Amino acid sequence: MHRADPTITDPPAAPPVTDRPADVSFWQALLFWLKLGFISFGGPAGQIAIMHQELVECRRWISERRFLHALNYCMVLPGPEAQQLATYIGWLMHRTRGGIVAGALFVLPSLLILIALSWVYIAFGKVPLVAGLFYGIKPAVTAIVLHAAHRIGGRALKNRTLWIIAALAFVAIFALKLPFPAIVAAAALIGYVGGRISPSTFRAGGGHGPGSKSYGPALIDDDTPTPAHARFRWAGLIRVALVGGLLWALPMALLTAGFGWAHAYTQMGWFFTKAALLTFGGAYAVLPYVYQGAVSHYGWLTPAQMIDGLALGETTPGPLIMVVAFVGFVGGYVQAHFGADLAFVAGAFAATLVTWFTFLPSFVFILAGGPLIESTHDDLKFTAPLTAITAAVVGVIVNLALFFGYHVLWPAGFEGRFDWISALIALAAAIALFRFKRNVIHVIAACAVTGLLLQLAR
């Protein structure tokens, strides 16, 4: 056996960091949140990892324990947890305006990029170059959604009961065509009752434990007192609830008065408000509800367009749920509510509209609930209803993967031909994701190039 040379010693460990970071001004923080909005790729896991590296490890604006405490709360809420986490930390550092700026800048770059890409897609989608790219991307999206179901299922389905809930949810949406909200409500009821009968069965949440690692003193450290603005007051809770309600009701009233309740814009506002309150389990969980409403019920876009929109959402920064901006843009652009010459304006207005109604609840949840969470630094746990909902979400996402696969592999329906080239691309994407753990953006890029080369070879 080779013996180590006793004259060779390991380099001395770096001395622990003992100095406290300098105070961060509102404008310094604003520049960071703007930067984060442009680099927040990789879905919730990647976005949270970026924030942890930047805010906990490098800048030390917040300690590990306080960061995970905030994340636990955001994981329990409906809505995009990474955007809510940015809002929470911004609020904790610089009051309400800090939270609003952090949350808004997490979304704004993605909205602007998606409006531009959606316009290119809808205006030039039939150009051979663009069509070739999307021919390769669509099979990749099918594999990505299936991989999401596997990833969430591996975390959520910890026992036989939760597997049964997932299977029942799949049957409910695939065979019985039950609406997604009904499935969520039924799962929550099962979890509530089951949690009382057998608490251990529904204790399989995906929460984060307490942080024990320290990167040195932080601006908001473990023992830093809760700032005055973050202390719970009934008056503050009521004020946030009233302002949030007004910010929702006023646009809805204007849309109803200006266009009528049945108009697409008004229905988009109402539909995406409901979607925002049903996003337990992340963006993939609400996508089935979005396609049920936007594709099947309202007809704002086609199944193929929905797949393409998800691909664009995967390749842009910001929360994946920003695919709603694509849905809004396509629905507004195609119907040209402001006239044929202003189709782009109609699409951009719809994209902005659905983004407003999708993300407004997230700000209300953080600004209203943050002081309650700051009143204790104990760990938050997933409730039994949420555990059951997450299990049901797995079955629903599997159905979504089948839905996408059907429209990709049999573009003309089962009576048409089977697209074996798309099947091979989907298989390759699945192998890259499951076997080689490749990054989603890399997989989409490789499949897009493959589709383009096939288009050029024809």
* This prediction's pTM: 0.75
Query: Are 132 and 40 in a shared domain?
Result: no
Query: Are 398 and 253 in a shared domain?
Result: yes
The two tokens of residue 3 are 């013996």
Query: Are 37 and 143 in a shared domain?
Result: no
Residue ending a domain, among 102, 117, 152, is: 102
The candidate with the shortest Cα–Cα distance to 362, out of 455, 198, 233, 244, is 244
What does the pLDDT read at residue 377? 53
What does the pLDDT read at residue 279? 67
Query: Are 205 and 325 in a shared domain?
Result: yes
Distance, CA of 299 to chain centre: 23
Query: Are 59 and 187 in a shared domain?
Result: no
CA dist 279 and 392 (Å) reads 12
List per-residue pLDDT tens for the chain, 458 residues long: 444 444 444 445 555 556 788 899 999 999 999 999 987 865 666 688 788 888 988 899 998 888 877 876 787 778 888 899 999 999 999 999 999 999 999 999 999 999 998 999 888 877 777 778 888 888 888 888 888 788 778 877 889 999 999 999 999 989 998 877 788 889 889 988 988 888 888 865 444 444 445 678 889 888 888 888 989 899 999 999 999 999 999 999 999 999 999 999 999 999 999 988 876 656 666 777 888 899 888 999 988 888 888 878 877 888 878 889 999 999 999 888 888 889 999 999 999 999 999 999 999 999 999 898 787 554 334 457 777 887 887 888 888 788 878 888 998 888 889 999 999 999 999 999 899 988 777 888 899 899 999 988 87
CA dist 190 and 165 (Å) reads 9
Domain that holds residue 429: 108-217+234-457
Query: Are 160 and 285 in a shared domain?
Result: yes
Query: Are 245 and 96 in a shared domain?
Result: no
The candidate with the shortest Cα–Cα distance to 131, out of 116, 147, 142, 120, is 120
Query: Are 120 and 50 in a shared domain?
Result: no
User: Which residues, in sequence order, are bridge partners of residue 220?
Assistant: 62
Query: Are 32 and 170 in a shared domain?
Result: no
CA dist 110 and 113 (Å) reads 5
Say if residue 339 is exposed, middle or buried (CB neighbours under 10 Å; 0-12, 13-18, 19+).
Answer: exposed
CA dist 20 and 32 (Å) reads 19
CA dist 378 and 376 (Å) reads 6
The two tokens of residue 368 are 């209203």
| Long-range CB contacts (within 8 A, 24+) of 436-439 | 439/42
Query: Are 77 and 123 in a shared domain?
Result: no
**Would residue 383 count as lying in a domain?**
yes
Residue ending a domain, among 80, 102, 124, is: 102
**Would residue 247 count as lying in a domain?**
yes
**Tally of structural domains, the chain:** 2
Helix and strand numbers, DSSP H then E, in the chain: 16, 0
Contact indicator for 237, 101 with CB cutoff of 8 Å: no
CA distances from 429 to 20, 214, 407, 443 (A): 46, 38, 17, 6
Residue ending a domain, among 54, 79, 102, is: 102
The two tokens of residue 114 are 């998606």
What does the pLDDT read at residue 440? 76
What does the pLDDT read at residue 216? 83
**Would residue 140 count as lying in a domain?**
yes
The two tokens of residue 234 are 């009934």
**Would residue 2 count as lying in a domain?**
no
CA dist 453 and 195 (Å) reads 53
**Would residue 312 count as lying in a domain?**
yes
Query: Are 190 and 319 in a shared domain?
Result: yes
CA dist 200 and 384 (Å) reads 9
CB contact set of 254 (below 8 Å; sequence gap of 6+):
none
CA dist 106 and 254 (Å) reads 27
CA dist 62 and 54 (Å) reads 10
**Would residue 419 count as lying in a domain?**
yes
Contact indicator for 252, 269 with CB cutoff of 8 Å: yes
Query: Are 96 and 118 in a shared domain?
Result: no
Q: Where does 153-254 show beta strands of DSSP type E?
A: none
**Would residue 225 count as lying in a domain?**
no
Contact indicator for 343, 170 with CB cutoff of 8 Å: no
Contact indicator for 293, 271 with CB cutoff of 8 Å: yes
**Would residue 12 count as lying in a domain?**
no
The candidate with the shortest Cα–Cα distance to 280, out of 360, 143, 188, 197, is 188
CA dist 433 and 230 (Å) reads 42
